[in-house]
Amino acid sequence: MLEADVNYAVVKDFINKVTEKAIGQGILESLTPGQQVIKIVNEQLTELMGSGESKIKWSSSPPTIIMMVGLQGSGKTTTSAKLAKYLLKQGKAPLLVAGDVYRPAAVKQLQVVGQEVNVPVFSLDNTDPVAISTEAIKYASEQSRDVVIIDTAGRLHVDEQMMQELERLKEATHPDEILLVVDAMTGQDAVNVAKHFNEQLSIDGVILTKLDGDTRGGAALSVRAVTGKPIKFVGMGEKLDDLEPFYPDRIASRILGMGDILTLIEKAQAAVDEKKAMELENKLRNQQFTLEDFLDQLHEIKKMGPLSQLMDMLPGFNSKKIGKLEVDDKEINRIEAIINSMTRQERMEPSIINGSRRRRIASGSGTSIQEVNRLLKQFEETKRLMKQFTNMEKTGRKGMLKLPF
């Protein structure tokens, strides 16, 4: 935990509580002593980060006002757009407000990301963030926008001038939520920043960005314990879709290497086209699976996010290595390039791909003939495996399959 840059006082308190629960506790018949300790640690980690998902408090009379605060460089502007996109998917009608009038191009940046997520951005040629925000709230009411997200100005460090401005903004707008955006990669600094902002503004929650980096969840463990305020969302990547609600039990499972199957399922449900999935199932059953279908599946996988992130959610897997096998996100791009270099007939009937065709495909995709051969071999092995599954289903046979690796 100290290597993960968790606050020392938090670690000490955590160990005391785990020890207290472990000593003298009866071991369940279905668990070994080691598994029992992991169970206690998992429960205590979950409790440390909050018992469950902490949701946004909605105003009884719209619009709900969300004030985004944080230091410069924490990803506040991008996170504001990510939150807007997330709320848009939940059926809300958000409005982004350009309240950072100091950082060069801050307003333009918010307008660009706002356009990307299809959410309007309110801005004025005014140097007073309070005046801009109050006008934005009036505009939101007139335009039936039920959520106002104010992107406030940050500094390189906590200073009195910034805090006074944020306090004025809080008094003028009466926000329903003050969300602090913190860079998880900064470790202990993230905790100190959260502590300062909470003391001055009494924040309602935290959004941790860059949690997909090599942070091991240290900041996530410390922020809640030090501030007493919940982590509401986590940024898991650079794309504007990469914002997730914070589930303490799921993060605890990831920290302990137990995976996060529920989040993986949710990502799959959001990315996969059900109609296409049914069509694919029929093709697999009838031995009609082609490289064209394989390419469609690659596109579905890419929608779910980087391969390394998906592997992190599987129990027992490491984000960098699976046994001796390196997880390479670029491999999907190479396979995609090879299949795109084929003609439609070659995708439908891979058996016609002879030596000269393989050379042409390798040249067109910027790969080697060996890589083309490997893909075609893997595809045939996959088809053979699917045939075995289908035959087992038809005959009701049980037993081990001879896998192609």
Per-residue pLDDT of 74-103, as tens digits, reads 889 999 999 999 999 999 999 999 998 888
Mean pLDDT of 24-33: 63
What's the pLDDT at 392? 56
Q: Report residue 67's pLDDT band, with 50, 70 and 90 as the boundaries.
A: very high
User: What is the pLDDT, as a whole number, of residue 343?
Assistant: 92
Q: Within this chain, do residues 250 and 189 fall inside the same structural domain, yes or no?
A: yes
Q: What is the pLDDT of residue 329?
A: 61
Per-residue pLDDT tens over the stretch 329-367: 677 788 889 989 999 888 888 889 999 999 999 999 999
Q: For residue 52, tell me if it sits in a domain.
A: no
Whether residue 393 has pLDDT greater than 60:
no
Strands 177-183 and 64-69: parallel
SS3 at position 210: coil
Q: Phi first, then psi: what are they for 218, rounded to 5°? A: -60, -45
pLDDT in tens, 293-328: 777 777 676 666 665 555 555 554 444 444 434 445
Four-residue CA torsion sign, 383, 388, 389, 390: positive
Domain count, the chain: 2
What's the rounded Cα separation, in Å, for the pair 262 and 403? Answer: 27
* CATH for 289: 1.10.260.30
Give pLDDT, residue 402.
45
Q: Does residue 270 or residue 40 have the better pLDDT?
A: 40
Same domain flag for 372 and 253: no
pLDDT for residue 28? 58
User: What per-residue confidence (pLDDT) applies to 224?
Assistant: 80
For residues 215 and 196, membership in a common domain is answered with yes
The reply to whether 143 and 287 lie within a common domain is no
pLDDT of residue 370: 92
Please indicate, yes or no, whether residues 244 and 113 belong to a single structural domain of this protein. Answer: yes
326 within some domain: yes
pLDDT for 282 equals 67
- 295 and 232 assigned to the same domain: no
Is pTM beyond 0.85? Reply is no
- 3-class state of residue 162 by DSSP: helix
367: domain range?
A: 266-395
Percent of the chain with pLDDT over 70: 72
Dig out the tokens for 340 from the structure. Answer: 């795109």
297 and 164 co-located in one domain:
no
Task: Inform me whether the pLDDT recorded for 169 exceeds 90.
Answer: yes
Query: Mean pLDDT in the chain?
Result: 78
Same domain (yes/no): 78, 117: yes
Least confident of 132-146, 251-265, 286-300: 251-265
Tell me the average pLDDT across 266-292: 63
Of the residues 258, 279, 300, which one is the last residue of a structural domain? 258
Query: What confidence score (pLDDT) does residue 81 get?
Result: 94
* CB-based contact 10:220 (threshold 8 Å): no
359 with 237, same domain?
Answer: no
Query: Please, what sign has the CA dihedral across residues 262, 263, 264, 270?
Result: positive
Whether the pLDDT of residue 174 is over 60: the answer is yes
Predicted confidence at residue 101, as pLDDT, reads 86
Calculate mean pLDDT across residues 26-34.
63
Asked whether residue 138 carries a pLDDT value surpassing 60, the answer given is yes
- Cα-based torsion angle of the residue sequence 192, 194, 198, 199 in order, rounded to the nearest 10 degrees: 10
Q: Do 86 and 211 have their domain in common?
A: yes
Compute the distance between CA of residue 90 and CA of residue 231 in angstroms, rounded to an integer: 19
Residue 65, beta-bridge partner list: 148
- Residue where one domain finishes, among candidates 258, 288, 309: 258
Q: Which has more confidence, 386 or 348?
A: 348
Take residue 350 and report the two structure tokens written for it.
């891979």
Q: Are residues 152 and 282 in the same domain?
A: no
